[in-house]
Amino acid sequence: MILRKGNTGSSVCGLQYALHMVCCPPGEFDGIFGANTEKAVRLYQNTRGLTVDGIVGDITWGKILLEMADIGQALTAKGYTNGAQGWSAGKAMLQAVLEFQKRHSLSADGMVGPKTMQALDMKQNEEESSGVNSSSGAGGAAAAAGSQNGNTGSRPISQNGIHKTGTTSAVLKPGSNGSLTKYLQQMLNALGYIETADGIFGKNTEAAVLTFQKEHGLEEDSLVGSETWKKLFQVYKIPGLHKSAAGLAAAARYELRLGFTENHSNNITPYGIWYGMNGEPWCAMFVSWCAYQAGILDRIVPRFAYCPYGVHWYREQGRLKAAGGYVPACGDTAFFGSRITGEISHTGIVVSVTGSSVTTIEGNSGDRVRSRNYDMGDPYIYGYGMNWYIE
């Protein structure tokens, strides 16, 4: 979902309440995305280190929803509840903040600034202005610059005197090695440019890269940087996928067979490079990638890097199903976290359901693409995004 100037409705109203609570007041809670709301969005983006465009896309939404989740958890810990619905940006949450402020002799403005955060025992994010957030499973606000532009993948890096090999950068070139190099080779193999995928950027890989660059009008420099990656993601397709939930599950199974695994727990992944947020937790980006490959991104499955945003999107679509009261189907999106606090920390794709057991394929599970089995009553399962009936 994208919100911008001119939009109206309940989503805009929720955005306005959220902006107010994170100290970027839009003035009105009228559900109209006008000049004041756009100004508040720009202020929010600027103070969080995000691209300042006044448009609320998934990155801005994700960051806002993470902050709302933190505020909601803090309110719950202080004894404030919103019944079975849990906390979400709206009038009830704002009223709870106002009541809390009054009880603690704070300025009752409904804005959760430093003093209110301290009273709520919330940890203040010292990196907020830089836009870097490393919340596990939900993804950060922006890709860490060192992961994108630091050490090249062609030389080892040193840590405590120990030299590392393997994936140390998103930029690959002759001499690179490791899991990302192997994934590159697997893509080139599917496109017919190379036969083997051994994880070593040798002469055959260099020749394949040069041929790919020449055929697609790219600079022929043997470097697999942003432009070469971008073109690869445009032309590479997993074969035989249907534009459906079944295709989503098939894409996940294909990725499981490819077996991507991080080398150094650095979140440098092909999924993050494709998404544009490399170096950040990537479980949601993995789901988005599979949906992109299946041809159902933004139609059946949202493009998301933050798990709370994915839950929000499905809820807005009327397709978020609570765990325990819904039997998932192959191709549904699974969300994991706490049903008590409402914290969403991880996501994956349902690939089979047998009896009371559900099997998922997940990105960033133990730093790799992994298949996992759960009892359907496992409290770690927060709920499901229903995809199977949408064609």
The alpha helices in the chain, defined as continuous H runs, are 10-21, 35-47, 58-77, 91-103, 114-119, 145-149, 179-190, 203-215, 226-235, 245-258, 270-275, 283-294, 307-317
**In this predicted structure, what is the pLDDT of residue 85?**
59
**In this predicted structure, what is the pLDDT of residue 44?**
95
Q: Is the dihedral of CA 303, 306, 311, 313 positive or negative?
A: negative
For residue 374, name the pLDDT band (cuts at 50, 70, 90). very high
Q: Per-residue pLDDT tens for 283-296? A: 999 999 999 999 99
Q: Per-residue pLDDT tens for 140-153? A: 333 322 332 233 33
What mean pLDDT is predicted for residues 17-29? 94
Question: How far apart are alpha carbons 195 and 176 in whole angstroms?
Answer: 18
What mean pLDDT is predicted for residues 52-60? 88
The answer, yes or no, to whether residue 381 has pLDDT greater than 90, is: yes
Q: What is the mean pLDDT of the chain?
A: 86
- Would you tell me how many other CB atoms lie within 10 Å of the CB of residue 322? 12
**In this predicted structure, what is the pLDDT of residue 391?**
57
Question: How far apart are alpha carbons 378 and 388 in whole angstroms?
Answer: 22
Q: Which fold has domain 242-391?
A: endopeptidase fold (from Nostoc punctiforme) (3.90.1720)
Distance of CA 214 to the CA centre of its chain: 33
Spell out the domain ranges in the chain. 10-123, 163-236, 242-391
Which pTM was predicted?
A: 0.68
**In this predicted structure, what is the pLDDT of residue 390?**
63
**In this predicted structure, what is the pLDDT of residue 176?**
94
Q: For 163-236, give the CATH class.
A: mainly alpha
What mean pLDDT is predicted for residues 358-385? 96
Shortest CA distance to 311 belongs to which of 141, 33, 65, 43?
Answer: 65
Q: Per-residue pLDDT tens for 59-117? A: 788 888 878 888 988 898 898 887 655 677 889 999 999 999 999 999 999 999 999 99
Q: Is the dihedral of CA 117, 119, 120, 125 positive or negative?
A: positive
